[in-house]
């Protein structure tokens, strides 16, 4: 043979892509009613891109579900709509506002929208009878996630039991569930934040503009820069000023902080991520800061 | 847009996009071997640990009254583990150097967690076993080597740790090396490297140690970066387990019919004559699609969609292979099985089985022996397998499995067993 093994090398990004596409196809083949949880953030955009590739030239054979906190960034919703329209995929919006009105969840004024998403999401999954829900979670994000399976089992109450996880060997995924249970599927388990950016750079697909450096009116709270917004009134001596910032994650805008940055292209973002010294969650997500086990607790309740 | 006159825009190539390759490795060992310290050091030195993670660990160490930063806290993820101070599950860690990205499957070393180690080793290219230089080889380190060998992990590193505590003595290293090399001849370890290190002091972890001039080999990091894994893939025996049939039924792609799957072996090209199993129908490859692009060759581990020239019946669970080189289709399976649940496995038991993209049921016909993974002794007296035990099992399946031996192909040679009542994965099997 004239060709050697070196000619058949696949870059790590291509390997991750192949592994994730394999997962998407397994789920589409084995589950009755899958759904893709789509926030419009960079990880869920990568997810949608992978799903697009997995089934091309056919359309993605499942709908996308967005949990609308009511406090989402308009730029993110715009990108979400563009993607959904381009792919011709059905979108279901589960609204936290609606869930509050329907008394599915209780807004006591103290609970964050992020936490209210849990009940809203679980209600939507139950209502529609979804048996598998794709999430964009990555194991590099946080310690509790580092041990979560690609196929992560949820009981009748949507809860995760970290001590009772199924062994996951080779690339043989076990999708057996009983009625009322569902599976969370994490095709990006082995991706890191840097991989996500490398992939977005390689694919050149649309992402929300707020990931790039821009001028924004912000104020400081708990050491984070938060966006000025009608949903987020300033308190006490918090003062609004204009800064050059970008967002590293896009969640509930009352909790998601931005960082000062001049990175206005994906290339510059990659440079910045490569030398960042604080994890994206630690830097900009108020909801993960309260305790070292914050994520584990929310996951057990049924968080993404 | 900010103006940046003095800095030039980096290119994607400069930034390493699409340039790195991948190494998956499994580590085994207990806290005493210094495994967590070693992983903590690899992560720290490759800057994969962020300041907020380090601060959280420093704060926890302080509140526990330690006078040092316990790097093990970085890897003990679940609250119950932190409380007990042990690692009870497989944790995945990530770091990268400019050449390579690394995925670590970090597994606990104790015998009661054998199933976790089997899980971590199942996807690993390399296994890293730690021994304490003061104690030499223990039952535990031998067991780790046996599991890596059973799981056919192609590369192994034995890290002789805590060399600083034996005065960096070459004689200690030589003795452990000799003993382990002799033991390894009984196993299947195609590539073995034995590296003297001190995870705590950093000797031979990232850079070569000045304390051990007698050691001529590379540092652990250098070895991990350079170990040659590309040739571990089988490029001869073409195997495409069909996952999903792509049928757009749109105006643009009205007649499109593609068979999607991830290459498990070999190279497929348009024009190749292929056989579809189990039907045995033959056809030619009309084209291979990678998203919207037609490609000229597909090889593992690519996920592709293959189109055939003839309108043959192909569905999920089928396998596309070459006419003169196909896997065997068999309902009688001999395999080494690692049992993963409390209720023991016994003859006549019925289970669900998943092999590549095929699912069926399996009946346990016989348990031929239980392997003592400490001594390699084959115990033929016991007719059951308990939790964390490994043994040779004969199965009869309801559907033929399109399989190779595990030693030939880790994908077409492996399966999982599922309890039909609970739906839980209860065993992992390697076909002999």
d(CA B122, CA A238): 53
A59 touches chain B (CB under 8 A): yes
Asked whether the beta carbons of residue A171 and residue B243 sit closer than 8 angstroms, the reply is no
Q: Which residues of B touch A268 (CB under 8 A)?
A: 9-10
Asked whether the beta carbons of residue A9 and residue B414 sit closer than 8 angstroms, the reply is no
Whether residues B187 and B97 fall in one domain: yes
Beta bridge partners of B288: B295, B306
Whether residues B66 and B213 fall in one domain: yes
Q: What's the pLDDT at B276?
A: 97
Asked whether the beta carbons of residue B4 and residue A10 sit closer than 8 angstroms, the reply is no
- Percent of chain B past pLDDT 90, that is, above it, reads 69
* CATH code (residue B127): 3.40.50.300
Q: Among the listed ranges B58-62, B89-93, B194-198, which one has the minimum average pLDDT value?
A: B58-62
Q: What's the pLDDT at A170?
A: 96
pLDDT (tens digit per residue) in A198-234: 999 999 999 999 999 999 999 998 888 999 988 888 8
Q: What's the pLDDT at B121?
A: 95
What does the mean pLDDT of chain B come to? 89
Residue of chain A whose Cα is closest to the Cα of B120: A169
Q: What's the pLDDT at A290?
A: 45
B348 touches chain A (CB under 8 A): no
Asked whether residue B95 is assigned to any structural domain, the reply reads yes
- CA B375 from chain centre, in angstroms, equals 24
Does residue B6 carry a pLDDT above 60? no
| Integer angstrom CA distances of residue B331 from B264, B364, B390 | 21, 12, 21
- CB-nearest to A172 from B79, B233, B414 is B414
Residue B208 or A97, more confident: B208
Name the minimum distance, in Å, from the CA of A229 to any CA of chain B.
23
Q: What's the pLDDT at B2?
A: 44
B377 and B327 Cβ atoms separated by less than 8 Å: no
Buried b vs exposed e over A230-252: b needs ≥16 C-beta within 10 Å? eebeeeeeeeeeebebbbbbbbb
- CB-nearest to B291 from A53, A147, A172 is A53
| Confidence at B5, pLDDT banded by 50, 70, 90 | very low
Asked whether the beta carbons of residue B243 and residue A265 sit closer than 8 angstroms, the reply is no
Asked whether residue B340 is assigned to any structural domain, the reply reads yes
Asked whether residue B6 is assigned to any structural domain, the reply reads no
| Confidence at A118, pLDDT banded by 50, 70, 90 | confident
pLDDT (tens digit per residue) in B207-243: 899 999 999 999 999 999 999 987 888 899 999 999 9
Pairing assessment for the beta strands B100-108 and B21-29 based on DSSP bridges: parallel
Q: What's the pLDDT at B16?
A: 75
B195 and B217 Cβ atoms separated by less than 8 Å: yes
A140 touches chain B (CB under 8 A): yes
B354 touches chain A (CB under 8 A): yes
Whether residues B30 and B145 fall in one domain: yes
pLDDT (tens digit per residue) in A136-176: 999 988 777 888 899 999 988 888 887 778 999 999 999 99
Q: Which domain holds residue B116?
A: 21-231
Mean pLDDT of B40-58: 74
Q: What's the pLDDT at B166?
A: 97
Name the minimum distance, in Å, from the CA of B275 to any CA of chain A.
22
A100 touches chain B (CB under 8 A): no
Nearest to A83 by CA among A118, A36, A124, A120: A36
Interface mutation target, options B17, B44, B307, B413, chain A, most CBs of A under 10 Å: B17
Name the minimum distance, in Å, from the CA of B171 to any CA of chain A.
39
- CB-nearest to B90 from A147, A192, A279 is A147
Whether residues B192 and B53 fall in one domain: yes
pLDDT (tens digit per residue) in B113-170: 888 899 999 999 999 999 999 999 988 888 899 999 999 999 999 999 999 999 999 9
Whether residues B83 and B198 fall in one domain: yes
B79 touches chain A (CB under 8 A): yes
- CB-nearest to A8 from B11, B244, B299 is B299
Residue B3 or A94, more confident: A94
Asked whether the beta carbons of residue A162 and residue B78 sit closer than 8 angstroms, the reply is yes
Does residue A90 carry a pLDDT above 70? yes
Does residue B4 carry a pLDDT above 60? no
| Confidence at A275, pLDDT banded by 50, 70, 90 | confident
Does residue A132 carry a pLDDT above 70? yes
Pairing assessment for the beta strands B126-132 and B21-29 based on DSSP bridges: parallel
Name the minimum distance, in Å, from the CA of B94 to any CA of chain A.
7
For chain B, the distance separating the N- and C-terminal CA atoms, rounded to the nearest angstrom, is: 62
A19 touches chain B (CB under 8 A): yes
Residue of chain B whose Cα is closest to the Cα of A60: B248
Mean pLDDT of A276-290: 58
A211 and A42 Cβ atoms separated by less than 8 Å: yes
Tell me, letter by letter, the H, E, C secondary structure of A110-175.
CCCHHHHHHHHHHHHHHHHCCCEEECCCCCCCCCCHHHCCCEEEECCCCCCCHHHCCCCCCCCCCC
Does residue A287 carry a pLDDT above 60? no
B423 touches chain A (CB under 8 A): yes
| Integer angstrom CA distances of residue B159 from B113, B180, B185, B212 | 21, 11, 18, 14
Q: Which residues of B touch A274 (CB under 8 A)?
A: 15
B254 touches chain A (CB under 8 A): no
Q: What's the pLDDT at A224?
A: 87
Pairing assessment for the beta strands B155-161 and B126-132 based on DSSP bridges: parallel
* CATH code (residue B389): 2.40.30.10
Whether residues B37 and B130 fall in one domain: yes
Asked whether the beta carbons of residue B357 and residue A26 sit closer than 8 angstroms, the reply is yes
Whether residues B170 and B268 fall in one domain: no
* Token pair listed for B74: 């970085």
Domains of chain A: 11-194+294-301 (3.40.50.620), 208-287 (no CATH)
Residue of chain A whose Cα is closest to the Cα of B298: A8
Nearest to B243 by CA among A55, A17, A70, A117: A55
Q: What's the pLDDT at B20?
A: 87
Asked whether residue B8 is assigned to any structural domain, the reply reads no
- The ipTM is 0.92
> Which own/partner pairs from A180-183 qualify as long-range (CB within 8 Å, at least 24 positions apart)?
A180/A156, A181/A153, A181/A154, A181/A155, A181/A156, A182/A125, A182/A130, A182/A131, A182/A132, A182/A133, A182/A154, A182/A158, A183/A31, A183/A131, A183/A132, A183/A133, A183/A151, A183/A152, A183/A153, A183/A154
Does residue B82 carry a pLDDT above 60? no
Q: What are phi and psi of B149, to 5 degrees?
A: -70, -45
Whether residues B297 and B397 fall in one domain: no
pLDDT (tens digit per residue) in B22-32: 999 999 866 56
Q: What's the pLDDT at A231?
A: 85
d(CA A300, CA A295): 9
Choosing from B231, B259, B288, the residue where a domain stops is B231
Buried b vs exposed e over A194-218: b needs ≥16 C-beta within 10 Å? bbbbbbbbbbebebbebbbbbebeb
pLDDT (tens digit per residue) in A41-84: 999 999 999 999 999 999 999 999 998 888 889 999 999 999 99
Nearest to A173 by CA among A16, A28, A4, A5: A28
Residue B375 or B228, more confident: B228
Q: Which residues of A touch B122 (CB under 8 A)?
A: 169-170
Q: Among the listed ranges B6-20, B355-369, B385-399, which one has the minimum average pLDDT value?
A: B6-20
B20 touches chain A (CB under 8 A): yes
Sheet holding B126-132, edge to edge: B91-96, B100-108, B21-29, B126-132, B155-161, B191-196
Mean pLDDT of A291-303: 56
B222 touches chain A (CB under 8 A): no
Asked whether the beta carbons of residue B249 and residue A293 sit closer than 8 angstroms, the reply is no
Asked whether residue B185 is assigned to any structural domain, the reply reads yes
Asked whether residue B422 is assigned to any structural domain, the reply reads yes
Highest mean pLDDT among A20-24, A283-287, B247-251: A20-24
What does the mean pLDDT of chain A come to? 87
Asked whether the beta carbons of residue A189 and residue B267 sit closer than 8 angstroms, the reply is no
- CB-nearest to B79 from A171, A202, A296 is A296
The per-residue DSSP string of chain A comes to: ----GGGG---HHHHHHHHHHHHHHHHHHH-SSEEEE--SSHHHHHHHHHHHHHHTTSPPSS-EEEEE-S---HHHHHHHHHHHHHHT--EEEEEHHHHHHTTSS---SSS-HHHHHHHHHHHHHHHHT-SEEE----TTS-TTGGG--SEEEE-TT----GGGPPP--TT-------TT-EEEE-TTTT--HHHHHHHHHHHT----GGGS-EEEEEEEETTEEEE--TTS---TT---EEEEEEESS-S-TTTB-EEE----SHHHHHHHHHH--S-HHHHHBGGG-S-TTHHHHHHHHT--
Asked whether the beta carbons of residue A15 and residue B414 sit closer than 8 angstroms, the reply is no
Whether residues B262 and B195 fall in one domain: no
Asked whether the beta carbons of residue A267 and residue B415 sit closer than 8 angstroms, the reply is no
Mean pLDDT of A226-252: 89
Does residue B187 carry a pLDDT above 50? yes
Does residue A294 carry a pLDDT above 80? no
- B196: Cα within 13 Å, side-chain hemisphere: 27
Residue of chain A whose Cα is closest to the Cα of B55: A278
Contact partners, residue A204, CB within 8 Å, separation at least 6: none
Whether residues B31 and B178 fall in one domain: yes
Contact partners, residue B33, CB within 8 Å, separation at least 6: B109, B130, B131, B132, B161
Whether residues B271 and B167 fall in one domain: no
- CB-nearest to A213 from B2, B20, B299 is B2
Mean pLDDT of A290-302: 55
- In chain B, the number of structural domains is 3
Asked whether the beta carbons of residue B357 and residue A279 sit closer than 8 angstroms, the reply is no
A168 touches chain B (CB under 8 A): yes
Find the radius of gyration of the CA atoms of chain B: 24
A293 touches chain B (CB under 8 A): yes
pLDDT (tens digit per residue) in B318-365: 999 999 999 999 999 999 999 999 999 999 999 999 999 999 999 999
Asked whether residue B12 is assigned to any structural domain, the reply reads no
Say if residue B71 is preceded by a cis peptide, omega within 30 of 0: no
Whether residues B206 and B284 fall in one domain: no
Choosing from B182, B202, B231, the residue where a domain stops is B231
pLDDT (tens digit per residue) in A26-36: 999 999 999 99
Residue of chain A whose Cα is closest to the Cα of B8: A268
How many beta-carbon contacts under 8 Å exist across A and B? 220
Choosing from B322, B352, B382, the residue where a domain stops is B322
Asked whether residue B162 is assigned to any structural domain, the reply reads yes
Mean pLDDT of A117-135: 89
pLDDT (tens digit per residue) in B236-282: 999 999 999 999 988 999 899 999 999 999 999 999 999 999 999 99
């Amino acid at each position: 043979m004239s060709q050697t093994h070196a000619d058949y090398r696949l870059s790590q990004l291509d390997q991750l892509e192949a592994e994730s596409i394999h997962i998407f196809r397994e789920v589409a083949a084995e589950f009755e009613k899958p759904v893709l949880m789509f926030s419009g953030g960079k990880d869920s955009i990568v997810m949608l891109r992978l799903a697009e590739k997995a089934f091309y030239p056919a359309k993605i054979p499942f709908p996308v579900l967005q949990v609308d906190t009511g406090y989402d960034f308009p730029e993110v919703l715009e990108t979400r709509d563009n993607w959904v329209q381009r792919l011709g995929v059905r979108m279901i919006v589960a609204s936290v506002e609606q869930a509050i009105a329907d008394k599915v969840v209780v807004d006591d004024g103290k609970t964050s929208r992020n936490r209210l998403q849990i009940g809203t999401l679980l209600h939507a999954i139950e209502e529609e009878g979804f048996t598998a829900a794709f999430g964009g979670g990555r194991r590099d994000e946080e310690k509790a996630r580092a041990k979560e399976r690609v196929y992560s089992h949820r009981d009748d109450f949507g809860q995760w039991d970290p001590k009772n996880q199924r062994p996951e060997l080779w690339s043989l995924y076990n999708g057996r569930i009983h009625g009322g249970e569902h599976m969370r599927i994490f095709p990006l388990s082995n991706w890191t934040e840097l991989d996500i950016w490398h992939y977005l750079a390689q694919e050149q697909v649309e992402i929300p503009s707020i990931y790039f450096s821009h001028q924004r009116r912000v104020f400081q709270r708990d050491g984070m820069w938060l966006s000025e917004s009608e949903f987020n009134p300033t308190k006490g001596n918090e003062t609004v000023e204009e800064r050059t910032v970008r967002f590293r994650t896009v969640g509930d805008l009352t909790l998601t902080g931005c960082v000062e940055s001049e990175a206005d292209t994906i290339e510059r973002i990659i440079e910045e991520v490569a030398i960042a010294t604080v994890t994206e969650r630690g830097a900009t997500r108020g909801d993960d800061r309260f305790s070292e086990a914050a994520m584990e607790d929310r996951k057990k309740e049924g968080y993404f | 847009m900010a103006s940046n006159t003095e800095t030039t825009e980096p290119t994607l190539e400069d930034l390493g996009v699409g340039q790195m390759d991948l190494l998956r490795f499994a580590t085994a060992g207990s806290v005493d071997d210094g495994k967590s310290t070693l992983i903590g050091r690899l992560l720290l030195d490759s800057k994969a640990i962020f300041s907020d993670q380090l601060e959280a660990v420093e704060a926890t160490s302080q509140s526990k009254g330690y006078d040092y930063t316990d790097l093990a806290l970085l890897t003990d993820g679940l609250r119950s583990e932190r409380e007990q101070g042990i690692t009870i599950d497989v944790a995945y860690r990530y770091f990268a150097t400019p050449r390579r990205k690394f995925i670590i499957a970090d597994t606990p070393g104790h015998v009661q967690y054998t199933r976790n180690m089997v899980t971590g080793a199942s996807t690993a290219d390399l296994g890293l076993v730690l021994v304490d230089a003061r104690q030499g080889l223990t039952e535990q380190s031998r067991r780790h080597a046996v599991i890596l060998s059973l799981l056919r992990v192609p590369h192994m590193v034995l890290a002789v740790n805590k060399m600083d505590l034996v005065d960096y003595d070459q004689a200690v290293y030589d003795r452990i090396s000799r003993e382990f090399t002799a033991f390894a001849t009984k196993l299947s370890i195609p590539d073995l490297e034995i590296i003297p290190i001190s995870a705590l002091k950093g000797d031979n972890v990232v850079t070569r140690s000045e304390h051990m001039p007698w050691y001529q080999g590379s540092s652990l990091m250098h070895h991990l970066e350079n170990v040659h894994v590309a040739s571990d893939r089988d490029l001869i025996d073409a195997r495409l387990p069909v996952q999903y049939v792509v049928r757009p039924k749109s105006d643009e792609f009205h007649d499109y019919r593609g068979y999607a799957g991830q290459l498990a072996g070999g190279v497929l090209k348009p024009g190749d004559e292929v056989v579809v199993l189990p039907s045995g129908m033959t056809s030619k490859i009309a084209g291979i699609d990678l998203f919207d692009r037609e490609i000229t060759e597909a090889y593992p581990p690519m996920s592709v969609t293959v189109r055939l020239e003839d309108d043959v019946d192909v569905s999920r669970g089928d396998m596309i292979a070459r006419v003169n080189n196909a896997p065997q289709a068999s309902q009688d399976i001999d395999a080494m099985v690692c049992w993963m649940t409390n209720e023991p496995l016994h003859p006549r038991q019925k289970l669900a089985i998943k092999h590549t993209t095929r699912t069926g049921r399996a009946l346990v016909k016989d348990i031929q022996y239980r392997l003592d993974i400490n001594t390699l002794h084959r115990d033929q007296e016991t007719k059951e397998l308990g939790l964390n035990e490994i043994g040779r099992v004969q199965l009869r399946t309801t559907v033929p499995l399109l399989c190779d031996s595990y030693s030939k192909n880790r994908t077409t040679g492996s399966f999982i067993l599922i309890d039909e009542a609970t739906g839980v994965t209860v065993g992992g099997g390697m076909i002999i």
